[in-house]
Amino acid sequence: MNGWAGKILRVNLTERKFENIPTSDYVPTYIGGRGVASRIYWEEVPPDAGAFDPDNRLIFATGPLQGTMAPTSGRFMVVGKAAQTAPVEAYCRSGCGGHWAPELKWAGFDAVVVYGQASKPVYIWIQDGKTEIRDASKLWGLDPFTTQEMLWKVHGKEARVMTIGKAGETKSRLGIIITDSGDASGQGGYGGVMGSKNLKAIVVRGTGSVRVARPKELMEVARHIRSLFSRPSKPGSPLEPNEPGFTYNIWGGQGRGQLTGAPGELWNLCSDPNSGYERLPDACYACPIGCRTRVRGPDITSGVAQCTQSNMYLESIMKDPEKGYSKLTWEAGRMADYYGINAYDIHGINPWLTACYEEGVLSNKDTGLPLDKIGEREFISELLRKIAYREGFGDLLAEGCQRAATKLGGKPEKLMWVLYPRAGKFGGYREHWLYYGGFPDGYAISPLALMWVLDNRDAMVSHNFMSQLWGAATSLGYPPNFAEAEELIPVIKPTMKYAYGSEKAAEFFTPDGKGLKWDWAPRVAKRFFERTILKDSYIVCDVAFPFLYNPNSGDHVGDSSLESKLFTAVTGVEMSEGESYEAGDMLCTLERAIQAREGRTSDDDVLRDICFTNKDAAGRQYHRDDLERAKAEYYKLSGWDQTGTPTLNRLKELKLSDVAEALQRKGIITPDQST
């Protein structure tokens, strides 16, 4: 099979048994990655299973591009019932970069499906088609980095390790799965799910290869993509291109190694050749960009950081603004990695605790935390330790900020609402670009609100819409989040016409500038979700794809056909861009069917009241009636009924008849809902 290794590994930890099933049962129909994983989830995870139940599956899925020279193909997806989703655990997904995914393909597998529960701590060892379950008792309790070092001593430095830390072992809903020196499956709480199965790590070593249908065509497409995104670095200056005027194409042009590029103490040290510090770009497998930063220094923990990890402890910058981004800001992210804790939820817990302390509703005595020292090392180190070990108030926080605040109720719960904007039964994810520039101080833009209510996690984790806004801001000479939204519209009109069909898709505001326009929001959101699930299925990098905004061309129009061209070159399966959206539509509908089976309806596709009472930086605001009308139109475009459930006819049109029949048997779809 061109592109695919041909086998999916199923691991029953309870019975210590393995089974190989053919990937051809799922591809090319479900493509790979998130698509294949969602189909396996539909078939194997009972809707009433809890996230920590043995019946839950942890599905680690690659796509057809992994293990080839396709640019940015170092990623894999983790899918399962998410412990973080609140208040109801539900289907979700999380991506991870690095080098583990191609190694799995070279070892002969496209995906690993783990279920059951081991009787004691174990790890899975996969090498060239062979699999073992090995004792991990001596690894239990170790941090992810020491765990990797220990496993390398056994299996060699060439092996790739994916593991959990203490937070995963204690079944924290903030537990992450981490590989290399900072790549992580963060959102979803899948580290806690892995810990509930007594699974410490999955170690992979492969010496095989992945067959490519059209090698010459792949080389040509890959070469073209590299020319669009990158240039060799300037001698002696690894973060700058050697071609004058070229902008590295990262999220619309933010620059190589810029995900941790905040000014301050640490970057000043890294810029001093005599300081002993250095800052270098770092990249996943087959990536021509190098968006993230590898930092070393004599008195800090070396490692790689991405945006959330590096900016998790913004309170340290506010506490000591003269230092700006300091050594402490950096170390806080490393501490979270050390314990295996989701930095993005800490990015919610910190401001929530700050607000509760300032409002007088939580104190040092109430929490056992030094709340009066938020922004200092003492606070963050104690907070992370207590969460990881589920000690005292940390036991409550290990449930995630939304669950913790809801349990406390009253004012603490209300202070959480601004940070966790989706209401209904399927929230639990911190605000992530509900506004351009961030809620509640940025700019309300109607497609963002619609995307937020419809996704199964924080919607803007897929940056393909935001990259157009950030790119326009950067092209105008602003930092990516700080332009006035109105100024972006003339710049993005050509890209929005190309990406969504009309310049009107970029007209976010009424002519008088006082209100929001919603007429194009449903069409923009639908194509956004199709592109998102496709890139999670091929799989390619979210930072780079889809390539909608080109900072180096006059009209800034990109090329959204690149992913389907890579897919066709690797697999030999013809897939035009238009055909890819049909596949994306089917996969989006399958995911919605899964959610419908787990109880999600239109009543859960809602924002909290505060999102409708708050005015943005220009005095505009979201209105509930507008959002409800846009949501209904989105359902109609997708072939779903008024409850947000895919109809019988639509499921059959998409060749998901078995899904339709299952929903019909459960009474979720009835005959009068079939049109």
Q: How confident is the model at residue 674 (pLDDT cuts 50, 70, 90)?
A: very low
Q: Which of 489, 2, 505, 498 is nearest to 209 (CA)?
A: 2
CATH code at 443-673: 1.10.599.10
State the pLDDT confidence band at 306, using cuts at 50, 70 and 90. Answer: confident
Neighbours of 181 (CB within 10 A): 18
Would you say the C-alpha torsion 343, 345, 348, 353 has a positive or negative sign? negative
Q: What are the distances in angstroms from CA 22 to CA 15, 56, 238?
A: 21, 21, 44
Q: Show the tokens assigned to 298.
A: 């004599």
212, amino acid identity: V
Question: What is the three-class DSSP state of 444?
Answer: strand
CA–CA distance, 586 with 593 (Å, rounded to integer): 10
509 - beta bridge partners? 516
Nearest CA-CA partner of 398 in 37, 44, 52 = 52
Six-digit token string for 37: 């994983």
Determine contact, residues 190/343, Cβ cutoff 8 Å: no
Q: Where are the alpha helices (DSSP H) in 45-178?
A: 100-106, 144-155, 166-169
Q: Which fold has domain 228-417?
A: 1.10.569
Main-chain phi, psi angles of 390, to 5 degrees? 50, 50
The C-alpha atoms of residue 319 and residue 298 are separated, in whole angstroms, by 24
**Residues 344-388 pLDDT 10s:** 999 999 999 999 999 999 999 999 999 999 999 999 999 999 999
**Cβ atoms of residues 172 and 192 within 8 Å:** yes
Tally Cβ neighbours within 10 Å of residue 289. Answer: 22
Report which residue type is found at 287.
C
Average confidence (pLDDT) over 315-330: 95
pLDDT given for residue 188 in this prediction: 97
Rounded Cα distance between 536 and 499, Å, is: 18
For residue 603, is pLDDT > 60? yes
Could you state, in order of their start, the residue ranges of all structural domains in the chain? Answer: 7-205, 228-417, 443-673
Class of domain 7-205: alpha beta
321 pLDDT higher than 50: yes
Residue 259 clears pLDDT 70, i.e. is over it: no
Average pLDDT value for the chain: 95
d(CA 428, CA 228): 37
What count of residues does the chain have?
A: 675
Residue 572, token pair as written in the block = 């030999």
Banded pLDDT at 307 (limits 50, 70, 90): confident
Q: How confident is the model over 100-146, as pLDDT tens digits?
A: 999 999 999 999 999 999 999 999 999 999 999 999 999 999 999 99
Residues 581, 563: Cα–Cα separation, whole Å:
11
pLDDT at 604 over 50: yes
The pTM for the full model equals: 0.97
Q: How far apart are CA 171 and CA 173, in angstroms?
A: 6
Characterize 435-466 residue by residue with b for buried, 16 or more Cβ atoms within 10 angstroms of its Cβ, and e for exposed: bbbebbebbbbbbbbbbbbbbbbbbbbbbbbb
What is the per-residue pLDDT for 308? 79
CA torsion sign for 377, 378, 380, 386 is: positive
- Joined together, the tokens standing for residue 566 give 């890579």
Give Cβ neighbours of residue 481 (< 8 Å, ≥ 6 apart).
436, 437, 438, 442, 470, 473
pLDDT digits (tens, 9 = 90+) for 220-257: 999 999 999 999 999 988 888 999 999 988 888 878 87
Q: Among 236-245, 388-397, 563-572, where is mean pLDDT lowest? A: 236-245
Residue with tokens 């390619």: 540
| Alpha-carbon gap, residue 208 to 106, rounded angstroms | 4
Do residues 518 and 620 touch, judged by C-beta distance below 8 A?
no
pLDDT level of residue 182 (50, 70, 90 thresholds): confident
Q: How far is CA 541 from the centre of its chain?
A: 10
**Contact status, residue 96 vs residue 596, Cβ threshold 8 Å:** no
| Sole residue written with tokens 């839950």 | 56
- What burial class does residue 222 get, using C-beta atoms within 10 Å of its C-beta: 0-12 exposed, 13-18 middle, 19+ buried? buried
